[in-house]
Amino acid sequence: MRNPKPFRAPGILLTLLLAFSCQQEKKAPIAFAPTDLAAEALIPKPLEVSSSGGAFGLDQYSAIFSQGEAPAFEAVATFLSEKIGEKTGLHLQVNPTEDAAGDRNIFIMEDKDPSWAGQEAYRLKISPDSVLLSAATPEGAFRGIQTLRQLIPDVSVDTLAPQPLWPLAAGMIQDQPQFAYRGSMLDVARHFFSVEDVKKYIDLLAYYKINVLHLHLTDDQGWRIEIKSWPKLTEIGGSTEVGGESGGFYTQEDYKELVDYASQRYMTIVPEVDMPGHTNAASASYPFLNGNGKTPTLYEGTRVGFSTFDTRKDTVYAFVDDVVREISGLSPGPYFHIGGDESHVTKKDDYRYFVNRVEKIVRKYGKRMIGWDEVATADLDSSSIAQFWASEENAQKAIEKGMQVILSPAKKAYLDMQYDTLSRHGLHWAAYIPVDTAYVWTPENYAQGVPKELILGVEAPLWSETISNIGELEYLAFPRVIGYSELSWTPEDKRDWEDYKVRLGKQAPFLDRMNVKYYPSELIDWEKSKYTYETIQKD
């Protein structure tokens, strides 16, 4: 039962490809206008693009063939077919029998050549009679189909053949990311966001090849994930949010649904339980956790730095062990984020003692610990990761321990910073971050003394004190998060603001079609879109 489908075996696939190519040669080529693959508005910009001038005409007769031992290659093909359907209305068959396939097809092929640079690398060869996408892994193929989706025009050409055609510029793309970790964080603690909202965010991020969604699941104002051994965390701690709204939480089933949804898009969810500070919601649920001996009440404001766990009580570590165990059991990804930021009322020695002990718990459950940069003041293992947000000194301490660093400098990468003084949402304690400022910086050498080899990647956090629904989330995240995808994927010598801003303007039809209420920055010449419905309000 290994290969029930006739077109999985490589030899047969190549034969099929040749057969289709020969058929195509008998027909007169379609007279597309000249194309230039290298000028297409791809984000993130691929590593190498060469144009060959012609075009592949995608139409209702095209089919998608997948080849590869892993059934996951067929799942990638099916995902592509669905996305092409949403954009064009075409219903492309996946791995049909030979007679059901047309002349011009898309082939997604596993290529085990050991020279691939990493598991996300892919190669795309577009010619008038076929599209060949090859990768060593389904993950690489998945990144490649995002490029393909971006290349399909929004509007068909209806005059060259009896049926509508979507011309794809011909040529070759060779691509791979510069950083393995390309993320965004969503704070679901200050305001809760539903499973549907998070799925929409995942879909949008995946289109730009972002591969990590870090969920900030707990804070002073709310505890958002069910812990079966400590049910009051969500019963009590999940009942509020900033501004006195009713909060909410993910059941473990909800959380698994998000993890699965993300993993189908080759995205890792990083769960964060912020401790020992930012813990008022936990201590309001179980007062023994509290470090100042009092029973706290629920908190709906936006102050930080006033709460702490009691770091010298063994029962606190039994609690943390249960939380890390349950969440790690739901999380196939390699990371567990312990927060560790702004523990202003925890004594320094207590803080270091706590982080050291919690790191061991995280490692016991098979995860790599991530913490905000303050954790580097503790005595950590080199496998742990510091997320640089504020202190270069802490980033330096992490480097000295041989730890990797994730770059999220608040002045450049915080999605909750306002664009300018007129922004409807957001804060500005770190900076105003207009769309150009968000893009024009160099993660590769931003933090002094942090060498590129120790940079795991870039993450753009979105804190939610000032946003409470998906439209407000989108206003702050888009378009800036698209730029962070390029900063983390594309090497510095290929990045250029003037070139990027033109490609960014061409994302408007996609964002409109996805009903994304992005901030229409005046720095960008946004492409007019056929999808601008009255329901889309971008003001």
Nearer to ligand ACM, 166 or 372 (CB): 372
Q: How far is CA 56 from the centre of its chain?
A: 29
Least Å distance between CB 279 and ligand ACM?
A: 13
Nearest residue relative to ligand ACM (C-beta): 341
Nearest one of 200, 198, 196 to 186, comparing CA atoms:
198
Cβ–Cβ contacts within 10 Å for residue 481, how many? 23
The kind and range of the H/E element at 107 are strand 105-110
Residue 473 Cβ, how far from ligand ACM at the closest point, in Å?
17
**How far is 353 from 270, CA to CA, in rounded Å?**
24
Residue found by looking up tokens 């549907």 in the block: 196
- Of the candidates 342, 392, 444, 472, the residue annotated as catalytic is 342
Residue with tokens 């730009």: 208
- Cβ proximity to ligand ACM: between 92 and 282 the closer is 282
Q: Which residues have CB under 8 Å from 26's CB, separation 6+?
A: none
For ligand ACM, the closer of residues 462 and 516 by Cβ is 462
Could you tell me the CA-to-CA distances from 358 to 109, 280, 283, 394, 520 in Å, in that order?
43, 18, 17, 19, 43
Is there a contact between 416 and 464 (Cβ–Cβ < 8 Å)? yes
What amino acid is encoded at 58 in this protein? L
d(Cα 337, Cα 268) in Å, to the nearest integer? 13
**Minimum distance from residue 373 beta carbon to ligand ACM (Å):** 8
Least gap, CB of 388 to ligand ACM (angstroms): 10
> What are the residues whose beta carbons fall under 8 Å from the beta carbon of 522, sequence distance 6 or more?
none
Taking the complex as a whole, the smallest distance from the CB of residue 374 to ligand ACM amounts, in Å, to: 9
Nearer to ligand ACM, 105 or 387 (CB): 387
Choose which of 7, 122, 181, 372 interacts with ligand ACM (CB under 6 A). Answer: 372
Least distance from ligand ACM to the Cβ atom of residue 453, Å: 24
To the query of whether residue 342 is one of the catalytic residues in this protein, the response is: yes
Nearer Cβ to ligand ACM, position 341 or 350?
341
Residue number with CB closer to ligand ACM (59 or 465): 465
Angstrom distance (rounded) from CA 109 to CA 144: 11
Going residue by residue from 327 to 366, which x/- string records binding to ligand ACM, judged by CB under 6 A? --------------xx------------------------
CB 225 within 8 A of CB 255: yes
One-letter-per-residue 3-state SS of 445-467: HCCCCCCHHHEEEEEEEECCCCC
> Partners of 417 in the beta sheet?
427
In angstroms, give the least distance from the CB of 410 to ligand ACM. 6
On the 0-12 / 13-18 / 19+ scale of CB atoms within 10 A, 315 is exposed
Count of residues touching ligand ACM (by CB under 6 A): 4
Q: Give 340 or 443: the residue with its C-beta nearer to ligand ACM.
A: 340
Residue-wise burial string across 287-299, b where 16 or more C-beta atoms lie within 10 A, e elsewhere: eebbbeeeebebb
State the nearest-atom distance from the C-beta of 471 to ligand ACM, in Å: 23
- For the CB of residue 328, give the shortest distance to ligand ACM in the complex, in Å: 22
CA–CA gap between residue 416 and residue 481 (Å, rounded): 11
Binding pattern for the stretch 238-267 against ligand ACM, x by CB under 6 A and - elsewhere: ------------------------------
By beta-carbon proximity to ligand ACM, the closer residue of 309 and 389 is 389
**Binder among 389, 419, 439, 489 for ligand ACM (CB under 6 A):** 389
The tokens describing 128, both together, are: 């008038």
Strands (DSSP E) contained in 316-360 are 335-339
Query: Considering only residues 410-429, where is the footprint of ligand ACM by CB under 6 A?
Result: none
CB 500 within 8 A of CB 486: yes
93 — phi, psi (to 5°)? -75, 150
Q: Which region, left, alpha or beta, applies to residue 247 given φ > 0 means left and ψ of -120 to 50 means alpha?
A: left
Q: Tell me the β-bridge partners of 176.
A: none
Interface map 268-307 toward ligand ACM (x if CB under 6 A):
----------------------------------------
Nearer CB in complex with ligand ACM: 72/380? 380
Q: Looking at residues 9 to 38 of the shown chain, list those that interact with ligand ACM (rule: CB under 6 A).
A: none
Binding flags for ligand ACM, 451-490, as an x/- string (CB under 6 A) = ----------------------------------------
Based on the shown chain and the rule CB under 6 A, indicate whether residue 388 belongs to the binding site for ligand ACM: no
Instruction: Pull the structure tokens for residue 34.
Output: 């000249």
Active-site residue list:
342
> Footprint of ligand ACM on this chain (CB under 6 A)?
341-342, 372, 389
